Structure formats: C-alpha cells, structure tokens
Amino acid sequence: MAFEGLSERLQSALSKLRGKGKVSESDVKAAMREVRLALLEADVNFKVVKDFVARVSERAVGQEVMKSLTPGQQVIKVVNEELTQLMGGQQSKLDLSSKPSVIMMVGLQGAGKTTTTGKLAHHLKKQNKHPLLVAGDVYRPAAIRQLEVLGDQIGLPVFSLGDQENPVEIAERGVAQAKEEGNDVVLIDTAGRLHVDETMMDELKAIREKVEPDEILLVVDAMTGQDAVNVAESFHQEMALTGVVLTKLDGDTRGGAALSVKSVTDCPVKFAGMGEKVDALEPFHPERMASRILGMGDVLTLIEKAEANVDEEKAKDLERKMRTQQFTFDDFLEQMDQVRNMGPLDELLGMMPGMGQMKGMKNLQVDEKQLTKVEAIIRSMTREEKQHPEVINASRRKRIAAGSGTTVQDVNRLIKQFSDMKKMMKRFSSMSKGKKKKGFGGGFKFPFMQ
Amino acid sequence: MSFFKRLKESVSKTTESVTQKFKDGLSKTSSSLVGAMDSVFSRNRIDEELFEELEDVLIGADVGVQTTMEIVDRLRSEVKQRKVKDPADLQPLLSEILVEMLQGDDRDTAMNLKADGLSIILFVGVNGVGKTTTIGKLAHQYRQEGKRVILAAGDTFRAGAIEQLEVWGERVGVDVIRHQAGSDPAAVIYDGIQAAKARGADILLCDTAGRLHSKVNLMEELKKVYRVIQREVPEAPHETLLVLDSTTGQNALQQAKWFNEATRLSGIVLTKMDGTAKGGIAVAIRRELSIPVKWIGLGEKLDDLQPFDAEQFVHALFVQAIEKEEEA
C-alpha cells in the first residue's frame, strides 16, 4: 500500500505517546526525532521536514496539548492536522468550466504522462465528459501508438498527426478538432523532458501560448527522491502549473514527493495513480491521505468506491440472502466480482481503519491469482452444487478439482471457508438483531488471503 | 598529496572525450551540489554545525539517512586522525570517501561478456526508468564494436512498448524478436534465445516490462523469464542489469533488494543523470547490497550511455573545487 514504510515508522514513533496520561517535553522531542528520520527516509524534502518537525513540536508542547486529558492523542491529532496541511489542506479539483477545457500534461521522461493521460481521460469519461486525447509526444518512439492503444481501451478518440509534425501544431489542431466535434475536454500528452532543457521547455511554452490550457498538470513519479522539489519548482516557474499528478503511488513507495511538492511550489496534488489498470487513478484528498498514513484508514474512499462499483439492487439482494441463510456459491462469485471491480484488494484493505496494526495483516499478500482459482472451482460446479453445497461428496470434489485444474485440497479448502463464512453470517445477523458483540469474528479470512 | 590531485591524474589516464562526457553530463548535478557544498566548506571552522549542514546536503542528494551518517562519521574520524583544521580541506577527504564507497571491494565494473559465443543480458526495473531506451543505446554501442546483436521484446504489457523497441531495432540496424502484445514474456525471450543461437549472435538484449517490485505476481513472471534463460543457456544471463532512474529516492533500495532476490542482479544502469538529480542512492545501494553501477546515462544521444567509472563520476562532481585548488 502507498506510504507503507512511512506509515509504519510514523506510527511506531507516535505509538509511544498514545495513551499516555502525561507527556513531557522530552517525550515529544524523542518522538519528533523519529518522525524526522521517518520523513527523511520517505524522501520528504529535508527543508520541508525541518519546518514540519518544528511546527509540530511547537504545537505539541503548547498549552492546549499538554493540559488536555489525553496529550498523547492530541500530539497525534496535531501530526494529522499538519500532515493534511502539508499536502494542501483540502481536495483540489480540476477546473473544467470552459468548453472545451484544455488540460496539458507535462513532466520528466518516464514519470507516466501517457499512461496518466489515458487514466485521466477514463476518469473524466466516467463523469460523463467527452474527452479528446491529443498525441503530442513526437520524440519517444511509439509514444503515439501507446496513446492510441490506451484510447482504444477506454473507447475515446485520439488526435494524432504522426511524429513528423511540430508538437505546437499538433496541440493547436487537436484543440480545433475538439471544438468542431464538440468534445468538452482536451487532454494533451507531451513528450517527457528535463526541466533544465531550455529548448524543450520553450516548446512547452509555445504550446501553452497557442492553446491557453485551463489546467497544466505536472506528472511526478512518487518514487522521486529529493530532486522532486527542484523539478516541480522549475516546471512551475516556467509553466505556471495548476496542479500535480503523482504516479506509481502503489507498491511500497513512501511517497515523500506527495508531502513536499505542495509546500514548496504551492501547487496542489490533484490526482494520484495507484496501479497499472486504466481505472487506477484517484482524486487526491489530503485529509484522507494523512489518516491513511497514520493508520487511521480511509473509510470515505472505500465507501465511494463501493458506491461507484456495486449495484445497489444486487447489494440489497445479497444482504437479504445473507440474513436468511440463502447465500450460495453463485452469490459468492458475484460478490467477489463486485469487490474485484473496486480495485486491487491490498489497496482496499489499506483503507480499513486499524488494518495496519492487525496481527498478520501487515505482510498480507493478496494474490489475485488465488481469486481466479476460486472462480475456476466455483465455475466447475453444477448448478445443483452451487445452490446446495452440502451435496458435494468425495467423487464430486474430485470432478470439480479436475474440471478447474486444481487439487481436491483446494476444493476442500474453499468449501470449508464457504461454510465458515455462512456460519459467520449467521452470527452477524443474530448480532444485528440483538446486542452488538465485540470484534470481527476470530480467525476468519477471505479465501483469497494467504 | 591531496586526493584531488590523485583523482585528476587517475582520470587523465582515460581519454579526454570520456572525461568531457562525464563533465558535461553531470554539470547540472555538479553545479547544484556546489552551491550547497560551498556554504558548508566555506565555514570558518570544523564543528558540529558544519557536519550537520553536510548531513543535509548528502540527504538532499538522496544518499539516504544511514549512508549519510556513515559518511559523516568517517569524515569525523579522518578529521581527528589527520588533524584537519581548514574546512576547505574536507572536500578532497569527502571525495575520497565517496570514490571508495562507490568502488566497493572489487574495482571491476566491466561487463561480464563471453569472448566468443552468445552472451545474454537481461534488463529489469520498475516502470519508466528507461529500460527500452537503454537497450537501444547499448545495442548501438555493441554494433559499433562489430558485434552481432539481437533484441527480444519482452515487454508485452505496456501499450506501444514492442513498437518502441522495433523503432530502436531499425535505427540501430539489428533484429528484434517479438510476439503479440499481451503474450507470455518468457515465450518471447525463449524465441529470442533460439533466434540468437540460430543466427550466431554475440549478444542478446532482453527487454522486460516495467514492474513494481512489490507486485508478487509480476515478480513471479520475471522469475520465470530468468528460469527460462538459465535453462536454455546454463551460464546465462551473463548480466542482469537493474535500470534505475537517478531521480529515485530511498525506494531504490527496495527496488534493488527485491529485484536482486528475484533475478540476482549483476549491476545497475543509472539513467537520466543529465538532470539535476544527484543519484546519491547509488552510494547507498553499493554500501548495503554491494551491487555496482555499471553504466551511467549522461544524456539523450546514442553514445551518452557510458561505462560507469567512480573516479570520473566523483571528479565531475567536484570539478569546480578541483580547478579552484589548482589555481591556489
């Protein structure tokens, strides 16, 4: 999950304060030393770290914190607030008021501009916009082809004049075509370039003058080290950026750039790329990110994802089935599909509050292949078997295993898990009727967890 | 004799054009470092404040917290031992430590290729570091040396990646072995090996898709590619190079660690050093995992990819200080 290393270090630094009735100045100091190292190792710019630690320390030893009943919690609250502030305070949205709105993507080589252009277009399409993609990277071999393939995948038009034309000309004619065809957003992909390359930066400026973009987004690789702020600063000086898109924020990137860029350039981070698929782009919410970093989860994003991807009718139906114990393998399969649509499972788990501390969850590897296996097993069952799993006897198990290319052990495991799950649902539904019990049933695991 | 002098003499043994390439390519890096260093070394005396400021400079160059601590500690003890008083004298000392750390135990950063017969080089790395471009440039250089080169388009995932390698193949004039997009990369590499054997190639350069080192499935896929190469040519791959974007921060250590676990890295290609990136992470990787940098990307031109040379590298970084010392 994003920010993993940072999250872990910060939480361990702060855990010593949690629950303390009294926090001395030296406690805070010790914690801040660790916070400082955690941030530095996460590639947060060293100047930003200095300011951040100074601000938090000052507030943490202040009256309101020290005199409160739970000073430890208060310090964590201060860190949370300052982290949020560092990342820009609140979500910053795209300005799409003009028709068409022109968005220009700029950045270093390999930051992920072309992929992000595709992802952003997909994101806008889901909001009922009709974007036109403009292939302005004429330098990298096959960059235009890459954008065309992406356009194909998401079902959006791509404007291209091949790689012999001038990028300024391409951008201009692209916008003109959008006006003609009634596209309400134009996304211009540009070639990667070094911020210190004057000729190439001049080319960007020429494009800007011709098409007057509403948004100029700098695409930054979240794995970038201390140089991230230099890059962002120069691009901002030359181009007057309107925002930043962080890419590759999945995996174990510590995402220091996310924390530095805004405070150095004052350009808000608007989106974050979190995976390889075209739908793996999220609007960037500083307050949610801060609480994710501090292990407080991000339930809001989780709910939004669920709302966007889960069919309400079906969900209600499922819920009824769970309550009335009619849950079958068919329902199980459907539920699995819906969860999968929401995004990579490890990302989803990272958004659950407290998941970071949960035993065994830390190094949890969600293997998507395992899901495919489960799916194969269920699809190898007859209709009767899916509806009434109790009929599955030894010979049926053998057949199912052969049919799904798995082993009888795999089939057994799944059936066992399925019946455990049903038992748990029973407990849940009796719980919601009666008084609430504590905790999320003991050793239960989804079948796709290892 | 100051280490600067020794460095200069050692560097002058290689050809002038190489030295110039390092100097030009690293000029942006050097000039942004010099500003920060100047303020450190122009202090009045050597004290804790100076060391702290130096720590900031090194951390700012992506050297990382732990490696920075080690460097500064070594500098401290050198200062004590040699009784250094003048802050300006710290520069040669620092450059000496850096060269030592970058060279590691063995000085051999040369490519381990077979004199005759097929050598296979596998390129791995996360997305967007410049794997395909690096392969293009290396293919060009080996062609110039008169070697028979074949490229295998193992990045079957990213849109346009195969086409990108094909453009390179045409530009450089070498064959590219390819399958459809989305096909099994191990199968492409297998075919690449068969073609290389059949056509009597000297060098097979294998491209792979960029992948985050934390994605288990993708790393398993890479292991399979590695196994296929090992099975087909027992002592291969002769080189497995991690391509690393020099702007990468501390995450590069994780990259090196996990890729090393999956494919046993033999070296690193440090790309995009012509920007303002300091590439300090190379020092940390050398220290913690003892994987040497073998190539360094100093610009966009075909021959801007140079064999890495720790002395040239440090010389280019400190070139202004070295010239100043000579004038004095």
Predicted local distance difference test score (pLDDT) of residue A446: 45
- Write a three-state SS string for A230-273: HHHHHHHHHHCCCEEEEECCCCCCCCHHHHHHHHHHCCCEEEEE
DSSP-assigned letter for residue B115: S
Contacts of B164 (CB under 8 A, 6+ apart): A140, A141, A142, A143, A145, A146, B132
B213 in contact with A, Cβ within 8 Å: yes
Other beta carbons within 10 Å of A217: 26
Q: Which residues of A touch B213 (CB under 8 A)?
A: 251-252
Which whole number is the average pLDDT over A54-70? 78
Task: State which of A404-408, B82-86, B189-193 shows the largest mean pLDDT.
Answer: B189-193
Does residue B126 have a known ligand-binding role?
A: yes
Asked if A112's CB is within 8 angstroms of B247's CB, the reply is no
Asked if A140's CB is within 8 angstroms of B247's CB, the reply is no
- The H or E element spanning position B119 is strand B119-124
Q: What 3-state class would DSSP assign to B80? A: helix
Report the alpha-carbon distance of residue B229 to residue A267 in Å, rounded: 47
Predicted local distance difference test score (pLDDT) of residue B136: 93
Q: Which residues of B touch A140 (CB under 8 A)?
A: 164
Report the alpha-carbon distance of residue A441 to residue B213 in Å, rounded: 33
Predicted local distance difference test score (pLDDT) of residue A383: 87
Which of the two residues, A167 and A330, has the higher pLDDT score? A167
What's the total number of domains in chain A?
3
Q: Answer with the one of A297, A329, A344 that is the final residue of a domain.
A: A297
Asked if B245's CB is within 8 angstroms of A221's CB, the reply is yes
Report the alpha-carbon distance of residue B311 to residue B20 in Å, rounded: 13
DSSP string over B138-187: HHHHHHHTT--EEEE----SSTTHHHHHHHHHHHHT-EEE---TTS-HHH
Q: Which chain B residue shows the shortest CA-CA distance from A234?
A: B276
A375: pLDDT strictly greater than 80:
yes
Residue numbers of the domain that contains A341: 302-433
Nearest to A226 among B62, B129, B163 (CB): B62
Asked if A143's CB is within 8 angstroms of B276's CB, the reply is no
Asked if B247's CB is within 8 angstroms of A251's CB, the reply is no
Same domain, yes or no: A106 and A166? yes
Instruction: Find out whether B225 and B240 touch, Cβ atoms under 8 Å.
Output: no
Instruction: Find out whether A122 and A277 touch, Cβ atoms under 8 Å.
Output: no
Confidence of residue A346 (pLDDT cuts 50, 70, 90): low
Instruction: Find out whether B24 and B299 touch, Cβ atoms under 8 Å.
Output: yes
Domain ranges of chain B: 14-107+314-327, 119-308
Same domain, yes or no: A150 and A261? yes
A360: pLDDT strictly greater than 60:
no
Same domain, yes or no: A276 and A416? no
Q: Which of residues 318-337 of A touch B (CB under 8 A)?
A: none
Report the alpha-carbon distance of residue B297 to residue B301 in Å, rounded: 9
Q: Which of residues 152-171 of B touch A (CB under 8 A)?
A: 157-164, 166-168, 171
Q: Which chain B residue shows the shortest CA-CA distance from A43?
A: B249
Same domain, yes or no: A66 and A167? no
Task: State which of A251-255, A388-392, A417-421, B265-269 shows the largest mean pLDDT.
Answer: B265-269
* Structural domain includes residue A142: yes
Report the alpha-carbon distance of residue B72 to residue B61 in Å, rounded: 14
Which pairs with CB-CB distance under 8 Å and at least 24 residues apart come from A201-210?
A201/A238, A201/A239, A203/A167, A203/A168, A204/A104, A204/A106, A204/A238, A204/A239, A205/A238, A205/A239, A206/A168, A207/A104, A207/A136, A207/A167, A207/A168, A207/A171, A208/A104, A208/A239, A210/A168, A210/A171, A210/A172
Predicted local distance difference test score (pLDDT) of residue A157: 94
Asked if B166's CB is within 8 angstroms of A251's CB, the reply is no
Distance set, CA A347 to CA A5, A173, A256, A297, B8 (Å): 15, 40, 18, 11, 52
The order of strands in the sheet holding B175-177 is: B175-177, B149-152, B203-206, B119-124, B239-245, B267-271, B293-297, B305-307
Burial of A425 (0-12, 13-18, 19+ CB in 10 A): middle
Q: Which residues of B touch A276 (CB under 8 A)?
A: 157
Same domain, yes or no: A188 and A319? no
Asked if B248's CB is within 8 angstroms of A146's CB, the reply is no
Same domain, yes or no: A242 and A337? no
The pair of structure tokens assigned to A393 is: 């006897």
Same domain, yes or no: A106 and A222? yes
Report the alpha-carbon distance of residue A128 to residue A23 in Å, rounded: 52
The order of strands in the sheet holding A131-136 is: A158-159, A131-136, A185-190, A101-107, A215-221, A243-247, A269-273, A281-283
Phi, psi of B148 (to 5 degrees): -90, 120
* Structural domain includes residue A401: yes
Same domain, yes or no: A203 and A276? yes
The letter for the amino acid at A307 is: E
A105: pLDDT strictly greater than 70:
yes
Same domain, yes or no: A143 and A19? no
Report the alpha-carbon distance of residue A50 to residue A118 in Å, rounded: 37
Q: Answer with the one of A297, A322, A352 that is the final residue of a domain.
A: A297
**Residue B273's closest CA among B59, B121, B172, B130?**
B130
CATH class for the domain made up of B14-107+314-327: mainly alpha
| Mean pLDDT, rounded, of chain B | 87
- Say which residue the tokens 């940098």 belong to: B293
Which whole number is the average pLDDT over B159-163? 87
CATH number at residue A374: 1.10.260.30
Share of chain A above pLDDT 90, in %: 29
Contacts of A155 (CB under 8 A, 6+ apart): A125
Nearest to B212 among A40, A145, A248 (CB): A248
Which whole number is the average pLDDT over B137-163? 91
| Mean pLDDT, rounded, of chain A | 81
* Structural domain includes residue A440: no
Q: Which residues of B touch A231 (CB under 8 A)?
A: 247, 275-276
Q: Which chain B residue shows the shortest CA-CA distance from A222?
A: B248
Give the fold, CATH level 3, of B119-308.
Answer: Rossmann fold (3.40.50)
Asked if A194's CB is within 8 angstroms of B126's CB, the reply is no
Q: Which of residues 191-250 of A touch B (CB under 8 A)?
A: 194-196, 221, 223-228, 230-231, 248, 250
Predicted local distance difference test score (pLDDT) of residue B111: 86
Q: What 3-state class would DSSP assign to B239? A: strand
Report the alpha-carbon distance of residue A353 to residue A296 in Å, rounded: 5
A362 in contact with B, Cβ within 8 Å: no
Q: Which residues of A touch B158 (CB under 8 A)?
A: 146
DSSP-assigned letter for residue B90: H
Q: Which chain A residue shows the shortest CA-CA distance from B56?
A: A46
CA B297 to chain centroid, in Å, comes to 8
Confidence of residue B142 (pLDDT cuts 50, 70, 90): very high
* Structural domain includes residue A94: no
CATH number at residue A21: 1.20.120.140
A158: pLDDT strictly greater than 70:
yes
Report the alpha-carbon distance of residue B236 to residue B118 in Å, rounded: 9
Same domain, yes or no: A22 and A55? yes
Instruction: Find out whether B119 and B173 touch, Cβ atoms under 8 Å.
Output: no
Which whole number is the average pLDDT over A352-381? 66
Q: Which residues of B touch A223 (CB under 8 A)?
A: 126, 245, 248-249, 251-252
A305: pLDDT strictly greater than 70:
no
Confidence of residue B263 (pLDDT cuts 50, 70, 90): very high
Q: Which residues of B touch A245 (CB under 8 A)?
A: none
User: Is this prediction's ipTM beyond 0.85?
Assistant: no
Q: Answer with the one of A263, A279, A297 that is the final residue of a domain.
A: A297
Predicted local distance difference test score (pLDDT) of residue A434: 46
* Structural domain includes residue A192: yes
Predicted local distance difference test score (pLDDT) of residue A230: 87
Same domain, yes or no: A123 and A137? yes
* Structural domain includes residue A388: yes
Span A261-291, pLDDT tens digits: 888 888 899 999 887 788 889 899 888 888 8
Asked if A145's CB is within 8 angstroms of B163's CB, the reply is yes
What do you get for the CA distance between the two ends of chain A, in Å?
Answer: 17
Which whole number is the average pLDDT over A372-378? 85
Asked if B249's CB is within 8 angstroms of A224's CB, the reply is yes
B67 in contact with A, Cβ within 8 Å: no
Nearest to A225 among B28, B168, B281 (CB): B281
Burial of A437 (0-12, 13-18, 19+ CB in 10 A): exposed
A29: pLDDT strictly greater than 80:
yes
- Say which residue the tokens 């609430």 belong to: A436
The letter for the amino acid at B8 is: K
Enumerate the β-bridge partners of residue B248: A224
Asked if B62's CB is within 8 angstroms of A43's CB, the reply is yes
Does residue B251 have a known ligand-binding role?
A: no
B50: pLDDT strictly greater than 70:
yes
